[in-house]
Amino acid sequence: MKPFCFASIPFRQARTAVAGCTIAALAGVLSLPLSNLAMAESPAVPEGFTALFNGKDLTGWHGQPHLDPRKWDATPAEKRSEWNQDMSEHWTVKEGALVNDGHGVYLTTDKQYGDIELLIDYKTVALADSGIYLRGSPQVQIWDSTNEAQFGIGADKGSGGLWNNSPGKAGKDPLVLADKAFGEWNSFRIKQVGARTSVWLNDQLVVDGANMENYWDRELPLFAKGVIQLQTHGGEIQWRNLFIRELSAEESNQWLQEQDQKLGEFQSLFNGSDLSNWKGAVENYEVLEGAIQCKTGHGGVLHTADKYSDFETTLEFQLPPGGNNGLALRYPGSGDTAYLGMCELQVLDNTADKYSGLDQRQYHGSAYGMLAAKRGFLREVGEWNYQRVTVKGSTIRVELNGTVILDGDLSQVTEYLADKEHPGKDNADGYFGFAGHNDPVRFKNVHIRGL
């Protein structure tokens, strides 16, 4: 057992060896006979869910240590085989429950998941330390909330937090202490859309839609998809009732909208039936099936009747193959919003072959020609995407389908696409709207609030 050193170990891989815990005491904990394990019931799979664990064996799982998911494909088959052998030595099935002896590799799903709702029960012992990796990234925390040796790093706040989020960030510490006493089963419900993560522990909300950071590279968003891992950290832990439900685009968008409504009162900009209260290129847009659509072969800026300074907007958009449009931010009312407005925020089918050679500052979510957004988070072409845009001063933050793809400051931009400057980028206010480019891109559920 290695002593715990928080300064030298950035995650919790060795945190179970704590001051004041003797090897003998910990060994005593680990030696609890399996005959003492409570029998795990096997209830019917909840409607809409799929069982991750069949209650009999490790089918659908493999062994994998704490590993950057980007390195998995390059891992030799021999090493993977070793990890699976290690898994078979430390993970067993007893009376319908998964049991780990506190050692070995992490139990890892063969399948990768994106937006999900996850149900999972666990039972552990004193001084144990564990967690649930989402999309291959650590983690929803599980530990001993009575272990005074770890109070300094948050154990007293209880389980369920996103422990590897940066200090002070939302979600790192659980909102309430919801752990049950040792010997009792605890129940998690986890909902994750993009990087936004909510966690309920024993029916109490402990993380409320917090952004889960990418532990492996904090300059990048959380991966769009990844495996689920059950972590082991030196203390016996049991798991049962593992069920998962993959969310549709419609469900994910609805949940994100509900989360955003908690931020404050938004004003609806679109009544779903006509373009009343919209100005500009009204003749180039139409309302079809409850959505605003740019007419094929037409364009121009359709904009609000009111101007906005600092604001936040939420909306859904649907791209046809090769679709191109944009969000006009602080648009002056005439001219090209990409240059005379604060910016044109790209709305683009990144997957289209005809766009494969674009500058990085031209893809979806980018402040056209100035700031590049992260790619890989659009839904399939034809599905509805949900986006939230926050404009404060010279800063723009874009969250696409629950993942932040742009967070930048236009006042810091000194290099422009084709060396063409953007004189409107410092606009203090302006209209909000859609910058059409001849394609039938659709928008609905358009809301805005001043900040």
How would you write the pLDDT of the chain (451 residues) with one tens digit per residue?
333 333 333 344 433 333 333 333 333 333 334 333 334 445 689 999 999 999 999 999 999 999 999 999 999 999 999 999 999 999 999 999 999 999 999 999 999 999 999 999 999 988 888 999 999 999 999 988 888 888 998 889 999 999 999 999 999 999 999 999 988 999 999 999 999 999 999 999 999 999 999 999 999 999 999 999 999 988 899 999 999 999 999 999 999 999 999 988 999 999 999 999 999 999 999 999 999 999 999 999 999 999 999 999 999 999 999 999 999 999 999 999 999 999 999 999 999 999 999 999 999 999 999 999 999 999 999 999 999 999 999 999 999 999 999 999 999 999 999 999 999 999 999 999 999 999 999 999 999 999 9
Residues 451 and 389: beta-carbon distance below 8 Å: no
For residue 40, how many C-alpha atoms fall within 13 Å in the half-sphere facing its CB? 27
Which residue from 119, 288, 295, 242 is spatially nearest to 192, judged by alpha carbons? 119
Q: What is the Cα–Cα distance from 9 to 18, expressed in whole angstroms?
A: 13
| Phi, psi (degrees; rounded to nearest 5) at 314 | -125, 145
Q: What is the Cα–Cα distance from 378 to 401, expressed in whole angstroms?
A: 7
Q: What is the Cα–Cα distance from 153 to 133, expressed in whole angstroms?
A: 19
CATH code of the region 252-450: 2.60.120.560
Q: What is the Cα–Cα distance from 414 to 205, expressed in whole angstroms?
A: 44
Q: Which two tokens stand for residue 36?
A: 């003492």
Q: What is the Cα–Cα distance from 336 to 343, expressed in whole angstroms?
A: 9
Please report the pLDDT score of residue 6 as a whole number.
Answer: 31
Please report the pLDDT score of residue 149 as a whole number.
Answer: 83
Please report the pLDDT score of residue 148 as a whole number.
Answer: 84
Q: Which two tokens stand for residue 92?
A: 């067993």
Residues 320 and 389: beta-carbon distance below 8 Å: no
Q: Which two tokens stand for residue 147?
A: 């272990």
Every domain of the chain with CATH number 2.60.120.560 lies at: 23-247, 252-450
Please report the pLDDT score of residue 42 as a whole number.
Answer: 53
CATH code of the region 23-247: 2.60.120.560
Q: Is 275 helix (H, G, I), strand (E, B) or coil?
A: coil
